[in-house]
Amino acid sequence: MSARELHLNAFLMGVGHHEAAWRHPRTDPRALDDVAHFQHLARIAERGTFDSVFLADGVQIWGDVRHTAANRFEPITLLTAISQATERIGLIATASTGFSEPYNLARLFSSLDHISGGRAGWNIVTTAGDRSAQNFNREVNLEHAERYERADEFLDVVTALWDSWEDDALVVDRESGVFAEDAKVHEIDHKGRFFSVRGPLNAVRSPQGHPLLVQAGSSEDGKAFASAWAEAVFTAHQTHGDATAFYADLKRRVTARGRAADDVKVLPGIVPVLGGTQAQARALAEELDGLIIPARAVRQLTELIGVDLTDHPLDARLPEFPPVSRVNGAKSRFELVRDLAQRERLTLRQLLGRLGGGRGHQVVAGTPEQVADHIELWFTTGAADGFNVMAPLLPSGLEDFVDHVVPLLRARGLFRAEYTGRTLREHYGLPRPVSRYASAALV
C-alpha cells in the first residue's frame, strides 16, 4: 500500500442514484421503506472496506411527489439502526444548521457516536430554498451568506458542547460518592448573533471527541466554511480540470488557515455505471436515461439550480443563465450546470440526460478496469483524495463496485484490504480533537 491512502464513501440513496432507478427491473422500490435494505447496503460497503456510508437529507419533499421515489427515513435514526448491523464502517448523516437548535443536534450526533463506538460523521448543510423554510415558521429562507454565518456560529456552539465534558471528567468512585469531577465539566456560555447556549451538554464526551465534520458546499462561502471546519469535502465535477482546480484551491485555503493540507479529504462524486464491456455499460446508462420522466426532471433541475426552466421547450438550446450573484440556492451546483450546458451547447433534454444519472456528479460508464483507471488517475494527479461512490442502482451497483472495482484498487496498492482502525476518524487518518477545555490545552 502506498503511503497515501484512497478513501471511499458509499453514498446511499434509496434504490439508486439514477433518478429513474426505481423504475428499473433490477431494483425493488418497496425497499425504500425497509430498514433491512439499508443495513444490507452498509454491509456490502463494509465488505468492500469503505471508510463510510453516507445519507443525504432535506427538510421538505424534493421534486415531484407523483414521479419521485421519496425519502422515508431520517438519517440519524437510520444510521443508528445501521450501526447495529455493522462493525467498522463510518456513518455520515446530513443535517442542516438552518432549522435545528445546536444543543439538540449536538446531542443527536454525540449519541450516534456513543452508540456506534466512534463511527459518526456529520455532513453539514445550510439548506437553500423557501420551501424548506416554510416548514419552519418562515416564508422566505435566509440569504446565502447569512445561512453560512449561522452555520459558522452553529459549529462554534456544537463543537464547544462536544468539548464541554473533558475526556477524564468521570471519576465514578462509589466509596466517596463522586461520580464526576465537576471542575472538568464546563459551561460554554455562548452568546452570539443567532444563539445563546449556556451548556454543558448532558452527555459525556463521545468516542471521537467530535464526530467527523463533512461539508459539500463549493461556493465561495462554502469553501471558506469548509476550510475552517470540514475534515472531508464532498464535491461534484464534470471534468478533471475543474476537479484539480477545486482541489488545489481548497487545499490552499486550508493551509492558509494554519491547518495541514491532509487534514481535509476531498471526495468528488462518481456514478459508476458498470458493465462487462464498455458497450454493456453504455447500454445500461442509456436504458436508465430512457426511464427519465422529463417533466419531473425539469422540476428537480429547477430546484437544484434555483432557475425556473419549467416552461422552456425540451428540445431548444438552454437560455442565458442569470449571474451567479443573483442565485440564492446552491451556487456551485448552478455554476457546474451552467458551464456544462454552455460548453456543450446542450438542449434542455440533453442536459436532463447528462444530469439524470448523478445530479451533476461525474458519470463514468465502463468496465471495472475503466472505472478503476479513472479513480487512479484522479487520485494520483491532484483531483481527489478519494471518491463519494454513487451507485446508479442499489444494491446491485454497489455490489458490482465492491466485487469488481475494489479488488482492482487493492491490487494496485491504492486501497486497504482490511480495516486498520475502529473509528471513522481512524479510517480517514484524522486525529481525535483535544477538548478546548482540557487542562493540557491551557498550558
Please provide the distance, in angstroms rounded to a whole number, between the alpha carbons at the two ends of the chain.
39
Total Cβ atoms within 10 A of residue 250: 21
Instruction: Dig out the grid coordinates for 182 from the structure.
Output: 465537576
Closest to a second copy by CB, 74 vs 403, is 74
Residues whose CB falls within 8 Å of the CB of residue 11, separated by 6 or more in sequence, listed in order: 17, 53, 54, 56, 234, 269, 388, 389, 390
Nearer CB in complex with a second copy: 158/409: 158
Is the CB of residue 233 less than 8 Å from the CB of residue 141? no
Minimum CB separation of residue 88 from a second copy in Å reads: 16
C-beta of 106 vs 232, nearer to a second copy: 106
Query: Minimum distance between the CB of residue 364 and a second copy, rounded to whole angstroms?
Result: 26
35 vs 324, beta carbon nearer a second copy: 35
Quote the least distance from Cβ 77 to a second copy, whole Å: 4
Please report, as a single letter, which amino acid is at residue 395.
Answer: P
144 marked as binding residue:
yes
Q: Which three cell numbers stand for residue 332?
A: 456551485
Nearest-approach distance from CB 128 to a second copy, in angstroms: 16
Q: CA-CA distances (angstroms) from residue 165 to 205, 241, 335, 347? A: 5, 45, 43, 56
- Our CB check for a second copy shows the closer of 185 and 261 to be 185
Cα–Cα distance measured from residue 63 to residue 66, given in angstroms and rounded to the nearest whole number: 9
Residue among 7, 34, 8, 6 nearest 394 (CA):
34
Pairing of strands 120-125, 90-96: parallel
- 175 backbone dihedrals φ, ψ, rounded to 5°: -60, -50
Considering only CA atoms, which of 332, 359, 360, 330 is closest in space to residue 129? 330
Q: How far is the CB of 134 from a second copy (least distance, A)?
A: 4
Closer by beta carbon to a second copy, 4 or else 72: 72
Q: Is 347 annotated as ligand-binding? A: no
Angle between helices 220-229 and 331-343 (to 10 degrees): 130
Would you say 136 or 321 has its CB closer to a second copy?
A: 136
Q: Could you tell me if 47 and 64 are in contact, meaning their C-beta atoms sit under 8 angstroms apart?
A: no
DSSP bridge partners of 163: none
Nearer to a second copy, 230 or 301 (CB): 301
Assess contact for 395 and 44: CB atoms under 8 A.
yes
Cis bond leading into 313, ω under 30°?
A: no
User: What is the distance between the alpha carbons of residues 415 and 412, in angstroms, rounded to a whole number?
Assistant: 8
Closest to a second copy by CB, 198 vs 343, is 198
Handedness of CA 117, 45, 35, 391 (dihedral sign): positive
Flag whether 381 is marked binding: no
- CB 248, min distance to a second copy, A: 37
The string of DSSP codes covering 382-393 is TS-SEEEE--SS
The CB-of-398 to a second copy minimum distance in angstroms stands at: 21
Whether 17 has a binding-site annotation, put simply, is no
* Shortest Cβ 224–a second copy spacing (Å): 25
Shortest reach from residue 415's CB to a second copy, in Å = 29
Longest dimension (CA), the chain: 80
> From the annotation, which residues make up the binding site for FMN?
57, 94, 144, 148, 218-219
> From the annotation, which residues make up the binding site?
57, 94, 144, 148, 218-219
